[in-house]
Structure 1
Amino acid sequence: MRIAVVGCSHGALDDIYKAIHRVDADTKKSGQLPVELLLCCGDFQALRCNADLYTMKAPTKFRLMKDFHNYYAGRKMAPILTIVVGGNHEAMGHMWECFHGGWLAPNIYFLGYAGCVLVDGWLRVAGSSGIYKAEDYKKGYFERIPYIPSTLSSAYHTRQYGVERLLKLNDNGAKVDIFMSHDWPVGIERHGDTQALLRETPRLEMSIRSNTLGSKPLASILDKLKPMQWVSGHMHIRFTAEVHHKSDDSQSTKFLALSKPGAGREFLEVIEVPTPADRRPPNGTRSHTPELFFDPQWLAIVRAFAPFMPLEVKAPPLPSVEEANALIEEALQWVHQNIGTKPILEVQVFSQTAPPTRTSSGEDDKNVTPRSYTNPQTQAFCDMLGIQNHFAAGSLST
């Protein structure tokens, strides 16, 4: 499977899809298959209307509608299945609606604050949204519309609740193929050409010397899950590394970070993942449209941890390792009996929540007051798992 990876999107969807089209045009001449999947590593900026600009932390000059609103409104259609994680410049009201994951627009799927899906039922893609700030890591998800400056910043900070759930992903032996994040795992620069990185971005020297470049929780995930590939954005630079895991000499993780769209920037790259023989399209088939499936292990983790969902500043204790393992095992049996491996589109179907912009430019949009909306996709997901939906409009339940 040929997979395009983008670092930070910064709302430039049109440029990204055009770049993929150019890649496909070049590779067609050599007989290669086209790109089948796009992974966007944060700062996606899923702005539906001007009101969403006021739920995104960014300097005023960077709070621009860009391209996404046209895909949300249906004026444009994503030409390739796109999977997204969140960064530190996002429309947080929109992301909050889709905490467990969901379609931001047709053919554009958000993994959620933490999540895992199966592409075509076999490629396991997991991800973590946001960036790490130690002071907020053990807090709950207390931020709500209307945001104030402090909560608009903390809303995109990674929380322990998401990380602890992700660490359970390979407990049943299934491996994660690709892990997506915005932040880098802390210390990843030591597994690549650190000196070249410093020459190109000297602003990172202090962070590298103090071993604070990146996220400690993501480093724990890297060490535990040992994915085949890890992709990131955030630093606006292309950087590669390879981590050889001490506990498994036969396996390593290839790390790829990319920049943001712009002239001369290395923002898009194509990676290839071998497709299992029984999953390959028939000979002579040039186009293939992948399908997303729920990952039963992740569904079990979400169901098991649902009673511990932290919704206030002070987060309640998470279950012990033993208790969590028992809850997940029980939940996994329930998932196998009641859900199985189900296509996501059988449960979650895109629908507009906030009113979209009225024109392709978005300039006449007078909707400037952020509001909370109940997303039917989140309700459908929670109903499927038999868990409470804490993300309905105005919900402050604990």
Structure 2
Amino acid sequence: MKIAVEGCCHGELDATYEEIKRIEQRDGAPVDVLLICGDFQAVRNAQDLQCMAVPDKYKDLRQFYQYYTGEKQAHVLTLVIGGNHEASNYMWELYHGGWLAPNIYFLGHAGCVQFNGVRIAGASGIYKSHDFPLGSFERMPYNPKSMRSIYHIREYCVRRLSLLSTPRIMLSHDWPQGIEHAGDLAGLLRRKQHFRADVQNSALGSPPLRGLLHQLQPEWWFSAHLHTRFEAAVAHGPAEGAAGASVDAGGQPAPPVIVANPDEIAIDDDEFDAPAPSEDPAQPAAAAEPRPPPVSRNDDEIVLSDEEDDVAPPPPPPPPYVPPKMTKFLALDKCLPRRKFLEVIDIPTDATPTPGNPTFAFDPEWLAIVRAFNPLLSLEMKQTPFPPEAEARATVARELTWVQENVLAGCEGQVVNVKDVQQFAPTLPGGDGPQGRERFQQPPWFTNPQTVAFCEMLGIENKINAPPPPTAAKSPPP
């Protein structure tokens, strides 16, 4: 299966799809799905621009609204996550995921779906420590502070993702913290010298995503945000913690096992390399410690009982070798000419895709997680306390049984196709939008029918944008 991956889109959909068509023509094979790692900028009209945290000079409609209105069509199924430059009001409408435009699907603030049997999970936003433990308190109209905090990833989303069994592919906008040490760090710092201080201070990337990397151990992890191409490989140790995650003595995810990059060229002034031993010929070589003479043992000797403690037992046999599980990491640049912003990767799959009719379905396990955690979704500053992990996993297991009995029963392949539940429906006029003063105002609040349909499928309360209560009918005048 051919998967196209893009870094930051920044609204440049025309250039994105043109590049895919160029690759398809070059390779003589169609791309099955496109994954975009944030800063997608689903801007429907000028009012959406007032909900995007960018300087005024960058408030440009670009091309998304043409795909939103149907003037243009995405020729390949496109799955996106959010970054830190988004029309956050629109992505909040589809908090649980939904169609941003025909054939363009948002995975939600956190989510997991299946495409032709391949599980694809994603985490939107970027990490800021002061907002991470809070609830989703932001409300329209956004002020300058909440317009930024709304795209800061929350612990609520990370905890839900941590309960997944291993997805094949993981998307994030941020890089996982420490991933730079698993690739060509010297080359990265030559291209991005201003990263050096963050690398030295272990401040590059997201700590919660580092935990997810070792908890989920996906085959592929794709990111964007830092506007450079970077690849790495992480070898996970044997399963020692929950869900197969290696953990240290404090219960935290163990650091990655670095896989040496054979193409990396060491540079003399790279302070990240360990200092070389002294080679000054004036310095005498360290004397080797004398080895004790080998001890011979007479098999005919009678060993007294009080001497048996002095005899070392034979060493235990070594444990069988278990090859480490690998995660291949790839970050890509932003969509600009002569930038490495898009690549196509072949991923083997057991499923036989139907040309023109791929299977795009909800992930049953994720549906169970959403049901289990929906009561904990806080719309206030303070987040509702989370249960212990064992209790949370037991709740998810019960909800998975509910999903199988109430959502999947009678479904072919025990999955529900997304389009059978959610259909694209515009909620705001697309294009240039209102004129005059309204053009520079944030749009009104909307109930999105896709979110309503998703919540009804799972039998959960719609906390995102519930329809307003019906108004009481007025009595006729006497």
| TM-score by shorter chain over 0.5 | yes
- The amino acid that maps onto 2:400 is L
% of aligned pairs identical? 48
Superposed counterparts of 1:20-169, under 5 Å: 20-28=20-28, 33-120=29-116, 122-169=117-164
What do the CA deviations read for 1:143-178 (whole angstroms, capped 9, x no partner)?
A: 1110001101101000000000000001xxxx3110
1:224 and 2:297 matched: no
Query: Structure 2: how far apart are the matches of 1:8 and 1:375?
Result: 26
Give the secondary-structure state (helix, strand or coil) at the position aligned to 1:269.
strand
- The amino acid that maps onto 2:330 is L
Contact 2:237 2:325 in 1 (8 A): no
Give the corresponding residue for 2:3: 3
1:13 and 2:20 matched: no
The 1:391–1:281 alpha-carbon spacing in structure 2 relative to 1, beyond 3 Å, is: closer
Contact 1:38 1:80 in 2 (8 A): yes
- Deviation of residue 366 (structure 1)? 6.1
Contact 2:82 2:125 in 1 (8 A): yes
- The amino acid that maps onto 1:231 is F
Query: Structure 1: how far apart are the matches of 2:27 and 2:394?
Result: 49
- The amino acid that maps onto 1:15 is A
1:351 and 2:425 matched: yes
- Deviation of residue 314 (structure 1)? 1.1
Give the corresponding residue for 1:212: 203
Query: Structure 2: how far apart are the matches of 1:346 and 1:326?
Result: 29
The aligned length equals 378
Contact 1:50 1:365 in 2 (8 A): no
Query: Structure 2: how far apart are the matches of 1:384 and 1:79?
Result: 28
- Deviation of residue 125 (structure 1)? 0.1
- Deviation of residue 356 (structure 1)? 1.3
Query: Structure 2: how far apart are the matches of 1:72 and 1:179?
Result: 26
Structure showing greater Rg: 2
The 1:45–1:365 alpha-carbon spacing in structure 2 relative to 1, beyond 3 Å, is: farther
What do the CA deviations read for 1:45-82 (whole angstroms, capped 9, x no partner)?
A: 00011100011001111111001000001111111000
Give the corresponding residue for 1:384: 457
Give the corresponding residue for 2:472: none
Give the secondary-structure state (helix, strand or coil) at the position aligned to 1:25.
helix
Candidates 386, 395, 419, aligned match of 1:327: 395
Query: Structure 1: how far apart are the matches of 2:52 and 2:461?
Result: 27
Give the corresponding residue for 2:343: 269
- Deviation of residue 363 (structure 1)? 9.3
Contact 1:128 1:181 in 2 (8 A): yes
Give the corresponding residue for 2:370: 302
- The amino acid that maps onto 1:196 is G
Contact 1:7 1:234 in 2 (8 A): yes
Structure 1 vs Structure 2 CA RMSD: 1.7
Give the secondary-structure state (helix, strand or coil) at the position aligned to 1:149.
coil
- Deviation of residue 288 (structure 1)? 4.1
Query: Structure 1: how far apart are the matches of 2:376 and 2:49?
Result: 31
- Deviation of residue 385 (structure 1)? 0.5
Query: Structure 2: how far apart are the matches of 1:44 and 1:364?
Result: 27
Give the secondary-structure state (helix, strand or coil) at the position aligned to 2:145.
helix
Give the secondary-structure state (helix, strand or coil) at the position aligned to 1:156.
coil
Contact 1:2 1:271 in 2 (8 A): yes
Query: Structure 2: how far apart are the matches of 1:394 and 1:345?
Result: 22
- Deviation of residue 354 (structure 1)? 1.1
- The amino acid that maps onto 2:423 is V
Query: Structure 1: how far apart are the matches of 2:427 and 2:159?
Result: 30
What do the CA deviations read for 1:302-333 (whole angstroms, capped 9, x no partner)?
A: 00001111111111101222321221111000
Give the corresponding residue for 1:339: 407
Query: Structure 1: how far apart are the matches of 2:140 and 2:435?
Result: 24
Query: Structure 2: how far apart are the matches of 1:289 and 1:378?
Result: 24
- Deviation of residue 296 (structure 1)? 0.4
- Deviation of residue 34 (structure 1)? 1.5
The 1:203–1:393 alpha-carbon spacing in structure 2 relative to 1, beyond 3 Å, is: farther
Q: TM-score, normalised by structure 2?
A: 0.77
- The amino acid that maps onto 1:311 is L
- The amino acid that maps onto 1:34 is P
The 1:319–1:281 alpha-carbon spacing in structure 2 relative to 1, beyond 3 Å, is: closer
Which deviates the most, 78-87 or 310-319? Answer: 310-319
The 1:137–1:358 alpha-carbon spacing in structure 2 relative to 1, beyond 3 Å, is: closer
Which deviates the most, 239-248 or 51-60? Answer: 239-248
Give the corresponding residue for 1:176: 167
- Deviation of residue 358 (structure 1)? 5.8
Contact 1:50 1:366 in 2 (8 A): no
Query: Structure 2: how far apart are the matches of 1:354 and 1:148?
Result: 21
Query: Structure 2: how far apart are the matches of 1:281 and 1:198?
Result: 41
Unaligned runs of 5+ in 1: none
- The amino acid that maps onto 2:373 is F
The 1:365–1:265 alpha-carbon spacing in structure 2 relative to 1, beyond 3 Å, is: farther
Give the corresponding residue for 2:259: none
